Structure 1
């Protein structure tokens, strides 16, 4: 596009405007003073030549049918240019008084150019139309044809009165009528084209060119007292100007990206097509009134034509109203349906729930791990999966139910009370059946929230289903949750906790504790893990298991995480300034999945390290497998953190979306073995198999291993026998205040034996 766009010359439009303005100035001056006849023809032929060049440039820039269309117009305008040059030669070489001469050769060239232009317009595709639109187009053609016929009868009468009925006069008349027909064809094309590749503004610039022929004849008569002026020369610069503006409109259309909404385009076209017959009627009425005022009578053909015109316009407008009504119904239908699956959308679904007076069941469904499926299979397969799942729901729910796609990967069912249980059973059973999506066999698991409304119809059943779905999505292993009052109370408690959480952050009620990570077998501290605690003013401690999920849901975890990183880095700087700090190799900070979605997290860490002058390798960021399993933005954030030089550790390894491939794709430096595996030590060989295998894999890949949740000396001893060199747990130390860690650094660094 960049290469071909250079073919368009920026001077086309300015030169065409200057030539048209110069012609106006010459006509004004010519009525007061004489000058050479050739002068008016320079701007006339120059303007047409600019139009030919602009049409050729438009053809080069376009492609397909547009290229052919603009090339045909360039050839047609080329014949007009040659005709103008021929007429210039006749005027300059012939002596005359009164009407300037126009030979048969010149007339023939004008007629050929006109016929070529009409052919180009007729062969331009107009897009598909319904029968009503086709009928409308036919009526449009009839309206314009009748209007042109009335105008033509008046023009012919004037022409005969002015020029007589000689052979040359009749040839001139035929030529001018042919040119007028070109204008009519262009106008009709504008009205009929709903899907034309040529922009409407370009067609509207072409439309006035059709009036050039009759107008030139009128001007030829009006300017006859001044032989150095000419009607053809007067209109040709404007033929060139309008042609150049049309090509410029096409150029802008192709080089500018202006997305159009599919639903609004037909409305605009319909209004524009409706306006043209009205304009034609007004113009005809004004013309006939002027004739009646001037002559005191109207010819039979004019009266009959006006009658036919009014009938056509009434029929045309009635059809237009019906078409617009159909279009509005279509728009209303589209506004209430999902364009991908064809199911009803959220607006329709909530309206249907509100309109249901009796007992009903609302089921809300969210597809699990859909983002990972979208990233892994691609958007086309993901769309196909949504369509297939929508069809499954429609089949399971039955015809009496309302099935909706509420947005993204969320669906809804509105069921009558009686079949609700059986539908839910079928829905759960169908979860084990794969769906076909763009060549893939995909098993889809879903979180389901269900709410029932009794006979009184008073409950906000949709909101209750949303609460149940939220619980199903946040409860580990939960697939279907049915609403009850306890969920409402729990939601209220969470809202209260969220408000209290904001207050606690402002009041500084959060404290950091640090649990030692020791080296086996002697139990010497080599690192610590930072753990946050919320201590209320009354001394009550709120467990992180309660407030961290709320902080993630509300987004407060981002602000809280920044405070944690800053506090830990400040404490690390304090420890580094004290004796014995060299044994503290690393301080670990937990980062949640929500924080990893924040693209500003790497900068927050970098700023904290720089502010307290902490080496990057002395900070460890602990993440969970689930947070980065799906890749995407979270994995990009982890990579950015690793590039800073901080260590990355996989926390609770083996309990989330475990994948050994994650150790290869994620920049991991250490893995922490979950307490559930440590608890199985000392039992059967099968219970120790995973712990043994993980340390072997980690050693092979050069990763550090830390065993969590060590509570007994026997566990610590067995871990060392299996090859583990680092551990943490209550056996060694509970989470301690920073002052206790400082004391350990200045002591013997021993946590436990």
Structure 2
């Protein structure tokens, strides 16, 4: 692969071919030495042999062996050319230009070596239909060659007689011509070729040079100093260097691949050789008949045999194409990974179903987490295993499909009795490539007779908005809710651009004094018409549409700007922290840590003064969300787990997530001053936090009794309506200036 293409090969070959043409034209008007025309003639095979050798040194494998076989073949042709020069100078001239037995043997040997090299090159495909097709292709080309050879031999005999030297010349020329036919068959019949097709097409004309040389012998007979062989040999060099040049371009170009598929589709590739064969034979037979007025027995029999072979060839091609079309049709209707039906088939089955039936659409929740965390092999195995579970649960009359990604579909006759079994089965883990995986699903169900696919998709979208396993049955009210949600989403996008959002801040106080030590930022939406949109209405919509990322960036920047203002007005120690809530959707954005760092730097706020509040559910599965939290922690910001105690695995998260504070959910605060059982969790949580060196903030404190009891249990921070409601920045300014406790 280290040899370098010689840039001068092709230009020199062009010059030699041009020089030979000029010498032939000039030789018909003036006489000169008969050796002059052989200078470009000898250079032709020499250039081709060198170019083939160079192409071989730049390749490997079968392709290297191919070029390594045609290079010696051309070297033998070069020896034959030199031998013919010797014949020209030593043998007497007769009707046939002097060509000795040695020369003819060299030409025949070179042609046979070239044909052997071409036949040994793999052509792609080894099925029985392709093997039969290849045999028929060769037979077709042999018949064409036989018809053409019979006409050629008749012409040759009329012109040169039947002497031994004439027959030797015939054998040589036919052997050389066979090389051209072999190349044509190889290109047309091969499903793929190792060598670039352009290189093979440039090799094909070399085989025609032999028979053409005898034609030129007749044409140049009146000028003894000219020679038909010398006239064509420079073009052997030109075509050979062009073939090697195309191989070089293929290796150095952008598309480097070991095998180059044919551009023609399979059904068109099957027609190329029959069309070529019938067209060429028709022209040949018509020419002979117009010239002589009759056809020979060989020509009639050959044409008949050719038609039979073409019919057989097309029959095999049609059968192969039919098989191919069946395979393509099956692939279009089945999922490649699971073997289940595809979305296209499922949609057609739903549309064609008669009578009452049920469409169930299923989405595997957190599949991406499994796929990213355990690898795509486990993800694929999970999809296959879940498809098998669906097939078993659906029964023999169900249509089970993988609709794409981690979404599946079930078409069931009658009512959806299998849904209960489906949810019950999800309690059992699936074995995915050696891993036991529990699968939670979102399920959309539509029952009836019409438009069920769309209705089930609508139900699935609603099911996917919640947490945990959810089943949503379609009804008319669902459509209304989705329409309302779409309206809110449009208004949300407009309101964000129009600046209709603002932040309120709820104080976090220190117990028991009630002194303000921090604030939590809370977003509010006041429309231009004065109406207020509840966060419970627009936050879920922002999550679903992805607008939470843009809204969250605005909240972060606004909170940091306000923190900088409070630092300027009240000193750097007036507030220990300002908290910003970050959603699960935001944690999946890998740009979030950079966004936080830029906001802190832009407003000059220390990282330690910012607290990022996240939910347990957002980071429970780990993966990208947990990686984002770790990156935020490395920035120096504090991480607080909001609504602590209500998620999947709170205690486990304290070990795996870089938590600095926990915010105890209001539901546990409400149980204070009740029975020991009601207080047990609140007591346990503060003990765990103290042992792990974490801050605790009790949320939702609404009474003085709750605040007092929290102090007795060891809580040092709290927030809630008992201390203060969310308020605008000016009200926080007043509290900071007064330095009075906010507890009632």
User: Fold match, TM over 0.5?
Assistant: yes
Q: Which moved more, 1:174-183 or 1:559-568?
A: 559-568
Pick aligned residue for 2:520 from 508, 529, 533? 529
Cα separation, 2, equivalents of 1:694 and 1:14: 85
Within 5 Å, which residues of 2 pair with 1:150-161? 150-161=147-158
* 423, 433, 438: which one aligns with 1:438: 433
**CA offsets per residue over residues 254-284 of structure 1, 9 Å max, x none?**
5556599x9x969624313412221222222
Deviations 1:59-107 (A, max 9, x none): 4444333333332223323322333343344446667587543332222
Pick the aligned partner of 2:719 from 710, 713, 728.
728
2:681 to 661, 683, 687: 687
Q: Which residue of 1 aligns with 2:411?
A: 414
Q: CA deviation at 1:296?
A: 2.8
Find the partner of 2:447 among 442, 446, 452: 452
**Bigger shift: residues 630-639 or 318-327:** 630-639
Looking at structure 1, the residues matched to 75 and 672 of structure 2 have their Cα atoms a distance apart, in angstroms, of 94
Would you say the 8 A contact 2:189–2:273 is kept in 1? no
1:579-622 C-alpha deviation (Å, 9 max, x unpaired): 34532233222222323444554554455445444444443333
Deviations 1:375-428 (A, max 9, x none): 12211221122122222222322332211110000000111106x31x223322
Q: Is the 8 A contact 2:698 2:718 kept in 1?
A: yes
Q: Which residue of 2 aligns with 1:111?
A: 108
Q: 1-side partners of 2:691 and 2:666: how far apart?
A: 18
Name structure 2 gaps, 5 residues minimum.
Answer: none
Counterparts of 1:680 and 1:49, CA distance in 2: 100
1:81 match: 78
- Map of 1:113-192 to 2, 5 A cutoff? 113-192=110-189
- In the aligned structure 1, how far is the partner of 2:639 from the partner of 2:242? 63
| Residues 138 and 578 (structure 1), Cα distance of their counterparts in 2 relative to 1, 3 Å cut | same
User: How far apart, in 1, do the equivalents of 2:75 and 2:287 lie?
Assistant: 37
- Cα gap change, 1:425 to 1:607, in 2 (>3 Å): closer
- Other-structure match for 1:373: 370
Moved more, 153-162 or 492-501: 492-501
Q: Aligned partners of 1:150 and 1:266: how far apart in 2?
A: 30
Distance 1:713 1:93, change over 3 A: farther
Mapped pair 1:462 → 2:453: yes
1:524 to partner: Cα distance: 2.5
Q: Residue 23 of structure 1: CA displacement?
A: 3.9
Q: By how many angstroms is 1:6 displaced?
A: 6.0
Out of 386, 389, 394, the residue aligned to residue 391 of structure 2 is 394
Deviations 1:641-691 (A, max 9, x none): 556554444433454454777667666554444444555566348524651
- Find the counterpart in structure 1 of residue 304 from structure 2: 307
Alignment check: 8 A CA contact 1:267 1:324 kept: no
User: 1:441-481 deviations in whole A, cap 9, x for unaligned?
Assistant: 3332322221111xxx3x31111211222232223334322
Q: How does 1:234-253 map to 2 (within 5 A)?
A: 234-253=231-250
User: Would the aligned equivalents of 2:640 and 2:661 in 1 still touch at CA under 8 Å?
Assistant: yes
Corresponding residue for residue 279 of structure 1: 276
1:663 and 1:51 map into 2 onto residues whose CA distance is 76
Matches within 5 A, 1:310-389: 310-389=307-386
Q: Which moved more, 1:654-663 or 1:361-370?
A: 654-663
Give the Cα–Cα distance (whole angstroms) in 1 for the partners of residues 54 and 627 of structure 2: 47
Q: Which range moved further: 214-223 or 344-353?
A: 214-223
Matched, 1:473 2:457: no
Question: Does 2:212 match 1:221?
Answer: no
CA 320–635 in structure 1, closer or farther in 2 if over 3 Å, else same: same
* Cα drift, residue 491 of structure 1: 1.6
Q: CA deviation at 1:45?
A: 4.2
Alpha-carbon RMSD? 3.4
Are 1:695 and 1:724, in contact at CA under 8 Å, matched by a contact in 2? no
Match of 2:285 in 1: 288
TM-aligned CA distance change 1:113 to 1:392, over 3 Å: farther
Q: Does 1:708 align with 2:699?
A: yes
Question: Matched residue of 1:309: which SS?
Answer: helix
Shift of the 139–619 alpha-carbon distance from structure 1 to 2, 3 Å rule, reads same
Distance in 2 between residues matched to 1:41 and 1:653, nearest whole Å: 96
Alignment partners' CA distance in 2, 1:100 and 1:660: 101
Question: 1:28 and 1:389 mapped to 2: Cα distance?
Answer: 80
Q: 1:11 to 1:417 in 2, by over 3 A?
A: farther
Local SS of the residue matching 2:521: strand
- Aligned position for 1:491: 482
Q: Does 1:651 align with 2:642?
A: yes
* Matches of 2:712 and 2:59, distance apart in 1: 76
Q: 1 CA distance for matches of 2:149 and 2:167?
A: 14
Retained in 2: the 8 A contact 1:374–1:381?
yes
Alignment of 1:544-693 (within 5 A): 544-602=535-593, 604-630=595-621, 633-635=624-626, 637-638=628-629, 641=632, 646-658=637-649, 669-679=660-670, 683-684=676-677, 686-688=680-682, 690-692=684-686
* 1:531 CA displacement: 0.7
Deviations 1:322-365 (A, max 9, x none): 44344333323322222222222112211111111311110111
How far residue 136 of structure 1 moved from its aligned partner, in angstroms, is: 3.0
Question: Could you say which residue in structure 2 is the equivalent of 1:426?
Answer: 421
Q: Deviations over 1:19-77 (max 9, x none)?
A: 44444444444444556655544544444344434434444444333333332223323
Partner of 1:102, secondary structure, is coil
Do the aligned partners of residues 109 and 336 (structure 1) sit closer, same or farther apart at CA in structure 2, a change above 3 Å counting? same
CA deviation digits over 1:549-595, x for unaligned, max 9?
11122232233223323322332232232134532233222222323
Q: Please state whether the residue corresponding to 2:410 is helix, strand or coil.
A: strand
Tell me how far apart the structure 2 counterparts of residues 107 and 689 of structure 1 sit (CA, whole Å). Answer: 107
Structure 1's 245 and 745: CA in aligned 2 closer, same or farther, altered over 3 A?
farther
2:18 and 2:629 mapped to 1: Cα distance?
A: 66
**Aligned partner of residue 652 in structure 1, secondary structure:** strand
- Corresponding residue number in structure 1 for 2:504: 513
Determine the structure 1 residue equivalent to 2:495: 504
